[in-house]
A and B are shown apart, each in its own frame.
Chain A
Amino acid sequence: MAEEVLVFGAWGSPFSRRVEMALKLKGIEYKYIEEDLTNKSPSLLKYNPVHKKIPVLVHNGMPVAESLVILEYIDETWKDHPILPKDPYERANARFWAKFIDEKCLSAIFKACWGEEYEHEKAEIEHEKAVKEVSELLQLLENELKEKRYFGGETVGLLDIAANTIGYWLGVFEEASGVELLTREKFPKLCNWANEFVCVTAIKENLPPRDKLIAYLRNRFGAGNASK
Protein backbone atom coordinates (compact mmCIF):
# COMPACT_ATOMS: atom_id res chain seq x y z
CA MET A 1 0.00 0.00 0.00
CA ALA A 2 1.35 3.44 -0.88
CA GLU A 3 2.12 5.61 2.09
CA GLU A 4 -0.02 8.68 2.65
CA VAL A 5 1.33 11.54 4.71
CA LEU A 6 -0.72 14.68 5.29
CA VAL A 7 0.33 17.80 7.17
CA PHE A 8 -2.26 20.27 8.39
CA GLY A 9 -0.53 23.58 9.02
CA ALA A 10 -0.53 27.35 8.74
CA TRP A 11 2.01 29.14 6.52
CA GLY A 12 3.30 31.44 9.25
CA SER A 13 3.39 28.96 12.13
CA PRO A 14 6.82 27.84 13.33
CA PHE A 15 5.13 24.76 14.81
CA SER A 16 3.73 23.37 11.56
CA ARG A 17 6.91 24.39 9.72
CA ARG A 18 8.87 22.20 12.17
CA VAL A 19 6.97 19.17 10.94
CA GLU A 20 7.66 20.06 7.31
CA MET A 21 11.35 20.63 8.05
CA ALA A 22 11.69 17.20 9.61
CA LEU A 23 9.88 15.47 6.74
CA LYS A 24 12.02 17.34 4.23
CA LEU A 25 15.22 16.38 6.04
CA LYS A 26 14.23 12.73 5.82
CA GLY A 27 13.08 12.98 2.21
CA ILE A 28 9.49 12.03 3.00
CA GLU A 29 6.82 13.14 0.55
CA TYR A 30 3.67 14.60 2.00
CA LYS A 31 0.57 16.54 1.07
CA TYR A 32 0.24 19.91 2.77
CA ILE A 33 -3.12 21.35 3.76
CA GLU A 34 -3.22 25.03 4.66
CA GLU A 35 -5.67 25.79 7.46
CA ASP A 36 -7.49 29.05 7.93
CA LEU A 37 -7.26 29.31 11.70
CA THR A 38 -10.26 31.61 11.83
CA ASN A 39 -12.33 28.98 10.05
CA LYS A 40 -10.98 25.53 10.89
CA SER A 41 -11.78 22.70 8.53
CA PRO A 42 -13.94 19.73 9.58
CA SER A 43 -10.90 17.53 8.87
CA LEU A 44 -8.73 19.39 11.37
CA LEU A 45 -11.44 19.22 14.02
CA LYS A 46 -11.81 15.51 13.34
CA TYR A 47 -8.07 14.80 13.53
CA ASN A 48 -7.38 16.98 16.57
CA PRO A 49 -10.61 17.19 18.55
CA VAL A 50 -8.81 17.76 21.86
CA HIS A 51 -6.84 20.92 21.03
CA LYS A 52 -8.26 21.81 17.58
CA LYS A 53 -4.83 23.13 16.60
CA ILE A 54 -2.24 22.79 13.90
CA PRO A 55 0.06 21.08 13.18
CA VAL A 56 -1.42 17.64 12.74
CA LEU A 57 0.40 14.90 10.88
CA VAL A 58 -1.85 12.21 9.41
CA HIS A 59 0.01 9.03 8.47
CA ASN A 60 -2.09 6.50 6.59
CA GLY A 61 -5.18 7.97 8.19
CA MET A 62 -3.78 8.03 11.74
CA PRO A 63 -3.38 11.51 13.28
CA VAL A 64 -0.55 12.73 15.48
CA ALA A 65 -0.77 16.16 17.15
CA GLU A 66 1.60 18.49 19.09
CA SER A 67 4.71 19.45 17.13
CA LEU A 68 7.32 17.92 19.46
CA VAL A 69 5.34 14.67 19.68
CA ILE A 70 5.13 14.68 15.87
CA LEU A 71 8.89 15.21 15.53
CA GLU A 72 9.61 12.17 17.70
CA TYR A 73 7.06 10.12 15.76
CA ILE A 74 8.69 11.12 12.46
CA ASP A 75 12.12 10.15 13.82
CA GLU A 76 10.90 6.75 15.03
CA THR A 77 8.99 5.96 11.83
CA TRP A 78 11.50 7.06 9.17
CA LYS A 79 14.98 6.06 10.24
CA ASP A 80 17.00 7.97 7.60
CA HIS A 81 18.80 11.08 8.83
CA PRO A 82 18.03 10.64 12.54
CA ILE A 83 17.21 13.87 14.38
CA LEU A 84 17.62 12.56 17.91
CA PRO A 85 20.95 11.23 19.20
CA LYS A 86 21.27 7.56 20.20
CA ASP A 87 22.56 8.19 23.71
CA PRO A 88 19.71 8.40 26.28
CA TYR A 89 21.36 11.25 28.20
CA GLU A 90 21.78 13.36 25.07
CA ARG A 91 18.21 12.57 24.07
CA ALA A 92 16.96 13.75 27.45
CA ASN A 93 19.02 16.90 27.01
CA ALA A 94 17.55 17.65 23.57
CA ARG A 95 14.03 17.10 24.91
CA PHE A 96 14.72 19.34 27.90
CA TRP A 97 15.85 22.28 25.76
CA ALA A 98 13.06 21.83 23.21
CA LYS A 99 10.55 22.02 26.07
CA PHE A 100 12.38 25.03 27.50
CA ILE A 101 12.12 26.86 24.18
CA ASP A 102 8.42 26.13 23.82
CA GLU A 103 7.43 26.89 27.40
CA LYS A 104 9.59 29.92 28.12
CA CYS A 105 11.03 31.59 25.03
CA LEU A 106 8.21 32.31 22.62
CA SER A 107 5.91 34.01 25.11
CA ALA A 108 8.80 36.05 26.54
CA ILE A 109 9.86 37.15 23.05
CA PHE A 110 6.33 38.09 22.19
CA LYS A 111 5.96 40.09 25.38
CA ALA A 112 9.15 42.02 24.68
CA CYS A 113 8.09 42.83 21.12
CA TRP A 114 4.42 43.54 21.53
CA GLY A 115 3.80 43.24 25.25
CA GLU A 116 0.81 44.34 27.17
CA GLU A 117 -0.54 47.83 27.25
CA TYR A 118 0.80 49.75 30.18
CA GLU A 119 0.43 53.33 31.32
CA HIS A 120 3.20 55.51 29.97
CA GLU A 121 5.42 55.57 33.08
CA LYS A 122 5.11 51.83 33.63
CA ALA A 123 5.56 50.96 29.96
CA GLU A 124 9.27 51.74 29.89
CA ILE A 125 10.04 49.68 33.00
CA GLU A 126 7.91 46.71 31.94
CA HIS A 127 9.45 46.74 28.47
CA GLU A 128 12.96 46.74 29.93
CA LYS A 129 12.02 43.84 32.19
CA ALA A 130 10.64 41.87 29.25
CA VAL A 131 13.77 42.51 27.16
CA LYS A 132 15.99 41.47 30.09
CA GLU A 133 14.05 38.23 30.48
CA VAL A 134 14.53 37.36 26.82
CA SER A 135 18.21 38.19 27.14
CA GLU A 136 18.58 35.75 30.04
CA LEU A 137 16.80 33.00 28.12
CA LEU A 138 18.92 33.57 25.02
CA GLN A 139 22.07 33.46 27.16
CA LEU A 140 21.09 30.00 28.38
CA LEU A 141 20.72 28.84 24.78
CA GLU A 142 24.03 30.50 23.82
CA ASN A 143 25.70 28.57 26.66
CA GLU A 144 24.05 25.31 25.62
CA LEU A 145 25.22 25.67 22.00
CA LYS A 146 28.86 25.98 23.08
CA GLU A 147 31.21 25.35 20.13
CA LYS A 148 28.82 23.13 18.20
CA ARG A 149 27.83 23.96 14.67
CA TYR A 150 24.25 22.95 15.38
CA PHE A 151 22.48 22.06 18.62
CA GLY A 152 22.39 18.53 17.19
CA GLY A 153 26.17 18.51 16.63
CA GLU A 154 27.46 18.17 13.09
CA THR A 155 24.00 17.94 11.58
CA VAL A 156 20.65 19.56 12.24
CA GLY A 157 18.68 17.70 14.91
CA LEU A 158 15.39 17.84 16.78
CA LEU A 159 16.54 20.70 18.99
CA ASP A 160 17.63 22.81 16.01
CA ILE A 161 14.23 22.25 14.42
CA ALA A 162 12.47 23.10 17.71
CA ALA A 163 14.64 26.22 17.91
CA ASN A 164 13.30 27.44 14.57
CA THR A 165 11.45 30.07 16.58
CA ILE A 166 14.84 31.43 17.61
CA GLY A 167 16.60 30.77 14.32
CA TYR A 168 14.16 32.58 12.08
CA TRP A 169 10.94 33.81 13.67
CA LEU A 170 12.77 35.82 16.33
CA GLY A 171 14.53 37.89 13.66
CA VAL A 172 11.22 38.49 11.92
CA PHE A 173 9.57 39.54 15.19
CA GLU A 174 12.45 41.94 15.79
CA GLU A 175 12.09 43.55 12.39
CA ALA A 176 8.30 43.75 12.60
CA SER A 177 8.30 45.31 16.07
CA GLY A 178 11.53 47.28 15.99
CA VAL A 179 12.73 45.64 19.21
CA GLU A 180 16.32 44.36 19.21
CA LEU A 181 16.86 41.10 21.07
CA LEU A 182 19.30 38.71 19.38
CA THR A 183 22.35 40.95 19.02
CA ARG A 184 25.63 39.72 17.58
CA GLU A 185 27.70 41.31 20.32
CA LYS A 186 25.83 39.54 23.11
CA PHE A 187 25.04 36.27 21.37
CA PRO A 188 27.70 35.57 18.72
CA LYS A 189 27.30 31.77 18.82
CA LEU A 190 23.53 31.89 18.56
CA CYS A 191 23.75 34.38 15.66
CA ASN A 192 26.20 32.14 13.82
CA TRP A 193 23.97 29.17 14.43
CA ALA A 194 20.90 31.04 13.14
CA ASN A 195 22.76 31.96 9.95
CA GLU A 196 23.83 28.36 9.36
CA PHE A 197 20.40 27.03 10.29
CA VAL A 198 18.47 29.03 7.70
CA CYS A 199 20.91 27.94 4.98
CA VAL A 200 20.20 24.22 5.41
CA THR A 201 18.11 23.22 2.38
CA ALA A 202 15.37 21.42 4.28
CA ILE A 203 15.03 24.43 6.55
CA LYS A 204 15.36 27.15 3.91
CA GLU A 205 12.63 25.64 1.77
CA ASN A 206 10.23 25.74 4.72
CA LEU A 207 10.57 29.30 5.94
CA PRO A 208 7.61 31.58 5.35
CA PRO A 209 8.45 34.65 3.22
CA ARG A 210 9.90 37.32 5.46
CA ASP A 211 7.98 40.32 4.10
CA LYS A 212 4.69 38.50 4.14
CA LEU A 213 5.24 37.47 7.76
CA ILE A 214 6.27 40.98 8.84
CA ALA A 215 3.17 42.47 7.20
CA TYR A 216 0.98 39.88 8.88
CA LEU A 217 2.52 40.48 12.33
CA ARG A 218 2.28 44.26 12.09
CA ASN A 219 -1.30 44.00 10.91
CA ARG A 220 -2.29 41.61 13.68
CA PHE A 221 -0.32 42.94 16.63
CA GLY A 222 0.45 46.54 15.81
CA ALA A 223 3.66 48.45 15.35
CA GLY A 224 5.45 46.93 18.32
CA ASN A 225 6.93 48.05 21.60
CA ALA A 226 9.88 49.96 20.18
CA SER A 227 7.58 52.69 18.96
CA LYS A 228 5.73 53.12 22.27
Chain B
Amino acid sequence: MADELVLLDFWPSMFGMRVRIALAEKGIEYEYKEEDLRNKSPLLLEMNPIHKKIPVLIHNGKPVCESLIIVQYIDEVWRDRSPLLPTDPYQRAHARFWADYVDKKVYEVSRKIWTTKGEEKEAGKKEFFEIFKTLEGELGDKPYFGGETFGFVDLSLIPFYSWFHAIETFGEFNIEAECPKIVAWAKRCLQIETVAKTLPDQKKVYEFVGQMRKRFGLE
Protein backbone atom coordinates (compact mmCIF):
# COMPACT_ATOMS: atom_id res chain seq x y z
CA MET B 1 0.00 0.00 0.00
CA ALA B 2 1.41 3.37 -0.96
CA ASP B 3 2.04 5.82 1.85
CA GLU B 4 -0.28 8.79 1.95
CA LEU B 5 1.35 11.92 3.35
CA VAL B 6 -0.17 15.35 3.81
CA LEU B 7 1.65 18.31 5.34
CA LEU B 8 -0.43 21.14 6.80
CA ASP B 9 1.85 24.15 6.77
CA PHE B 10 2.29 27.90 6.28
CA TRP B 11 5.00 29.01 3.87
CA PRO B 12 6.93 31.46 6.15
CA SER B 13 6.85 29.16 9.19
CA MET B 14 10.33 28.15 10.38
CA PHE B 15 8.75 25.16 12.05
CA GLY B 16 7.09 24.01 8.83
CA MET B 17 10.38 24.48 6.96
CA ARG B 18 12.04 21.98 9.29
CA VAL B 19 9.58 19.30 8.25
CA ARG B 20 9.85 20.20 4.56
CA ILE B 21 13.64 19.88 4.70
CA ALA B 22 13.38 16.52 6.49
CA LEU B 23 10.94 15.15 3.91
CA ALA B 24 13.14 16.43 1.07
CA GLU B 25 16.28 14.91 2.61
CA LYS B 26 14.52 11.53 2.70
CA GLY B 27 13.16 11.97 -0.83
CA ILE B 28 9.58 11.46 0.33
CA GLU B 29 6.62 12.58 -1.73
CA TYR B 30 3.77 14.33 0.00
CA GLU B 31 0.84 16.64 -0.55
CA TYR B 32 1.45 20.18 0.70
CA LYS B 33 -1.57 22.08 2.04
CA GLU B 34 -1.17 25.78 2.75
CA GLU B 35 -3.10 26.97 5.80
CA ASP B 36 -4.51 30.44 6.30
CA LEU B 37 -3.70 30.92 9.97
CA ARG B 38 -6.41 33.54 10.37
CA ASN B 39 -8.94 31.07 9.02
CA LYS B 40 -7.80 27.60 10.02
CA SER B 41 -9.21 24.68 8.06
CA PRO B 42 -11.50 22.08 9.67
CA LEU B 43 -8.82 19.53 8.80
CA LEU B 44 -6.18 21.36 10.85
CA LEU B 45 -8.53 21.74 13.81
CA GLU B 46 -9.38 18.05 13.59
CA MET B 47 -5.76 16.89 13.23
CA ASN B 48 -4.29 19.19 15.91
CA PRO B 49 -7.14 19.93 18.31
CA ILE B 50 -4.77 20.51 21.24
CA HIS B 51 -2.63 23.31 19.82
CA LYS B 52 -4.43 24.12 16.53
CA LYS B 53 -1.04 24.87 14.99
CA ILE B 54 1.02 23.99 11.97
CA PRO B 55 2.99 22.03 10.96
CA VAL B 56 1.03 18.80 11.11
CA LEU B 57 2.14 15.74 9.19
CA ILE B 58 -0.71 13.38 8.39
CA HIS B 59 0.61 9.89 7.61
CA ASN B 60 -2.03 7.50 6.31
CA GLY B 61 -4.67 9.55 8.10
CA LYS B 62 -2.83 9.75 11.45
CA PRO B 63 -1.54 13.16 12.58
CA VAL B 64 1.88 13.94 14.07
CA CYS B 65 2.34 17.40 15.58
CA GLU B 66 5.22 19.59 16.84
CA SER B 67 7.99 20.10 14.29
CA LEU B 68 10.90 18.39 16.07
CA ILE B 69 8.68 15.46 17.02
CA ILE B 70 7.60 15.19 13.37
CA VAL B 71 11.25 15.26 12.20
CA GLN B 72 12.15 12.45 14.61
CA TYR B 73 9.12 10.49 13.45
CA ILE B 74 10.20 10.88 9.82
CA ASP B 75 13.71 9.77 10.76
CA GLU B 76 12.39 6.65 12.52
CA VAL B 77 9.90 5.60 9.85
CA TRP B 78 12.25 6.15 6.90
CA ARG B 79 15.35 4.97 8.68
CA ASP B 80 16.82 3.26 5.64
CA ARG B 81 18.15 6.51 4.15
CA SER B 82 19.71 9.92 4.91
CA PRO B 83 19.73 9.76 8.73
CA LEU B 84 18.79 13.06 10.35
CA LEU B 85 19.99 12.11 13.84
CA PRO B 86 23.28 10.40 14.75
CA THR B 87 23.23 6.73 15.82
CA ASP B 88 25.25 7.09 19.02
CA PRO B 89 23.01 7.74 22.07
CA TYR B 90 25.28 10.44 23.50
CA GLN B 91 25.47 12.29 20.20
CA ARG B 92 21.70 11.97 19.85
CA ALA B 93 21.21 13.45 23.33
CA HIS B 94 23.60 16.26 22.40
CA ALA B 95 21.62 16.96 19.21
CA ARG B 96 18.30 16.90 21.05
CA PHE B 97 19.64 19.26 23.71
CA TRP B 98 20.71 21.87 21.16
CA ALA B 99 17.57 21.54 19.05
CA ASP B 100 15.62 22.07 22.29
CA TYR B 101 17.76 25.17 22.98
CA VAL B 102 16.90 26.56 19.54
CA ASP B 103 13.22 25.86 20.20
CA LYS B 104 13.23 27.53 23.60
CA LYS B 105 15.20 30.62 22.64
CA VAL B 106 15.41 31.61 18.99
CA TYR B 107 11.75 32.05 18.01
CA GLU B 108 10.81 34.15 21.05
CA VAL B 109 13.75 36.50 20.78
CA SER B 110 13.29 36.95 17.02
CA ARG B 111 9.65 37.74 17.52
CA LYS B 112 10.51 40.25 20.23
CA ILE B 113 12.67 42.18 17.78
CA TRP B 114 10.13 42.57 14.99
CA THR B 115 7.07 43.10 17.18
CA THR B 116 8.35 45.69 19.65
CA LYS B 117 9.83 49.17 19.77
CA GLY B 118 12.21 51.22 21.86
CA GLU B 119 13.67 49.70 25.02
CA GLU B 120 12.00 46.34 24.57
CA LYS B 121 13.41 46.04 21.06
CA GLU B 122 16.90 46.97 22.26
CA ALA B 123 16.68 44.34 25.00
CA GLY B 124 15.59 41.84 22.36
CA LYS B 125 18.59 42.63 20.18
CA LYS B 126 20.98 42.18 23.08
CA GLU B 127 19.38 38.84 23.93
CA PHE B 128 19.49 37.80 20.24
CA PHE B 129 23.24 38.26 20.14
CA GLU B 130 23.75 36.41 23.42
CA ILE B 131 21.80 33.45 22.11
CA PHE B 132 23.58 33.39 18.77
CA LYS B 133 26.97 33.80 20.41
CA THR B 134 26.15 30.69 22.47
CA LEU B 135 25.20 28.88 19.27
CA GLU B 136 28.45 30.03 17.61
CA GLY B 137 30.30 28.58 20.60
CA GLU B 138 28.59 25.25 20.09
CA LEU B 139 29.30 25.28 16.35
CA GLY B 140 32.99 25.95 16.97
CA ASP B 141 35.13 25.12 13.95
CA LYS B 142 32.80 22.42 12.66
CA PRO B 143 31.25 22.94 9.22
CA TYR B 144 27.86 21.97 10.63
CA PHE B 145 26.37 21.57 14.12
CA GLY B 146 26.11 17.89 13.19
CA GLY B 147 29.85 17.75 12.51
CA GLU B 148 30.91 16.90 8.96
CA THR B 149 27.35 16.58 7.75
CA PHE B 150 24.09 18.55 8.01
CA GLY B 151 22.07 17.17 10.93
CA PHE B 152 19.22 17.60 13.38
CA VAL B 153 20.45 20.82 15.00
CA ASP B 154 21.31 22.38 11.63
CA LEU B 155 17.82 21.50 10.42
CA SER B 156 16.20 23.00 13.51
CA LEU B 157 18.05 26.31 13.14
CA ILE B 158 18.53 26.98 9.40
CA PRO B 159 14.89 28.01 8.73
CA PHE B 160 15.44 31.10 10.91
CA TYR B 161 18.02 32.29 8.36
CA SER B 162 15.21 33.03 5.92
CA TRP B 163 13.95 35.54 8.49
CA PHE B 164 17.33 37.26 9.03
CA HIS B 165 16.80 40.00 6.44
CA ALA B 166 13.45 40.88 8.03
CA ILE B 167 14.83 40.76 11.59
CA GLU B 168 17.90 42.84 10.65
CA THR B 169 15.92 45.48 8.80
CA PHE B 170 13.17 45.93 11.37
CA GLY B 171 15.65 45.51 14.20
CA GLU B 172 18.00 48.02 12.57
CA PHE B 173 21.15 46.02 13.06
CA ASN B 174 23.53 43.77 11.14
CA ILE B 175 23.59 40.11 12.08
CA GLU B 176 26.63 39.19 9.98
CA ALA B 177 28.75 41.85 11.69
CA GLU B 178 28.05 40.39 15.12
CA CYS B 179 27.73 36.70 14.26
CA PRO B 180 29.88 36.04 11.17
CA LYS B 181 30.27 32.34 11.95
CA ILE B 182 26.52 31.76 12.02
CA VAL B 183 26.00 33.53 8.72
CA ALA B 184 28.91 31.56 7.18
CA TRP B 185 27.33 28.36 8.49
CA ALA B 186 23.94 29.36 7.06
CA LYS B 187 25.40 30.06 3.62
CA ARG B 188 27.10 26.67 3.77
CA CYS B 189 23.75 25.04 4.51
CA LEU B 190 22.20 26.86 1.58
CA GLN B 191 24.63 24.99 -0.70
CA ILE B 192 22.61 21.90 0.13
CA GLU B 193 19.93 21.38 -2.49
CA THR B 194 17.11 20.38 -0.13
CA VAL B 195 17.72 23.43 2.05
CA ALA B 196 18.05 25.84 -0.87
CA LYS B 197 14.83 24.55 -2.42
CA THR B 198 12.90 24.70 0.86
CA LEU B 199 13.82 28.06 2.34
CA PRO B 200 11.68 30.92 0.99
CA ASP B 201 13.27 34.03 -0.43
CA GLN B 202 14.34 36.42 2.33
CA LYS B 203 12.73 39.37 0.56
CA LYS B 204 9.40 37.56 0.45
CA VAL B 205 9.63 36.90 4.18
CA TYR B 206 10.54 40.54 4.75
CA GLU B 207 7.40 41.67 2.89
CA PHE B 208 5.30 39.22 4.87
CA VAL B 209 6.69 40.49 8.19
CA GLY B 210 6.10 44.06 7.02
CA GLN B 211 2.43 43.24 6.50
CA MET B 212 2.22 41.63 9.94
CA ARG B 213 3.76 44.73 11.52
CA LYS B 214 1.16 46.91 9.84
CA ARG B 215 -1.53 44.69 11.29
CA PHE B 216 0.05 45.03 14.75
CA GLY B 217 0.12 48.80 14.32
CA LEU B 218 3.90 49.00 14.23
CA GLU B 219 4.15 50.71 10.84
Contact = CB atoms under 8 A, between A and B. Distances in A.
Interface of A: 50, 59, 62, 64-66, 69-70, 72-73, 76-77, 88-89, 91-92, 95-96, 99-100, 140
Interface of B: 50, 59, 62, 64-66, 69-70, 72-73, 76-77, 89-90, 92-94, 96-97, 100-101, 134
B69 A89 contact: no
B64 A69 contact: no
A77 B69 contact: no
Contacts of A66: 96-97, 100
Given A50-B134, A70-B93, A89 B100 contact: no
Identify whether the interface residues of A are mostly helix, strand, loop, or mixed.
Answer: helix
A92 B66 CA distance: 9
A184 to B, nearest CB: 24
Given A76-B89, A92-B69, 6 more contacts: A59-B90, A69-B100, A73-B89, A73-B92, A95-B72, A140-B50
Given A76-B92, A140-B50, A69 B66 contact: no
Given A50-B101, A140-B50, A92 B93 contact: no
A198 B97 CA distance: 29
23 contacts: A50-B101, A62-B90, A64-B90, A66-B97, A69-B93, A69-B96, A69-B100, A70-B93, A72-B96, A73-B89, A73-B92, A73-B93, A76-B93, A77-B89, A88-B73, A89-B62, A89-B73, A91-B72, A92-B72, A92-B73, A95-B69, A96-B69, A140-B50
Given A64-B97, A66-B100, A100 B69 contact: no
Given A50-B134, A91-B73, A64 B64 contact: no
Contacts of B65: 96
B83 to A, nearest CB: 14
Contacts of B90: 59, 62, 64, 73
Contact of A99 (B66, B89, B92): B66
Contacts, number: 54
Contacts of A64: 90, 93-94, 97
Nearest to B62: A89
A165 B101 CA distance: 22
A69 B97 contact: yes
B64 A89 contact: yes
Contacts of A89: 59, 62, 64, 73
Nearest to A48: B97
A99 B96 CA distance: 13
Contacts of A72: 92-93, 96
Contact of B69 (A73, A76, A99): A99
B70 A100 contact: no
9 closest A-B pairs by CB? A76-B89, A73-B93, A88-B76, A92-B73, A69-B96, A64-B93, A77-B89, A95-B69, A92-B64
A99 B72 CA distance: 14
Contacts of A88: 73, 76-77
Contacts of B134: 50
B195 to A, nearest CB: 24
A20 B115 CA distance: 42
Contacts of B97: 64-66, 69
B81 to A, nearest CB: 15
A50 B125 CA distance: 19
A195 to B, nearest CB: 26
A59 B89 CA distance: 11
A190 B89 CA distance: 33
A95 B90 CA distance: 19
Contacts of A50: 101, 134
Contacts of B50: 100, 140
A141 B45 CA distance: 18
Contacts of B73: 88-89, 91-92
Specify which of B59, B72, B90 lies most central, judged by the most chain A CB atoms within 10 Å of its CB.
B90
A172 B40 CA distance: 39
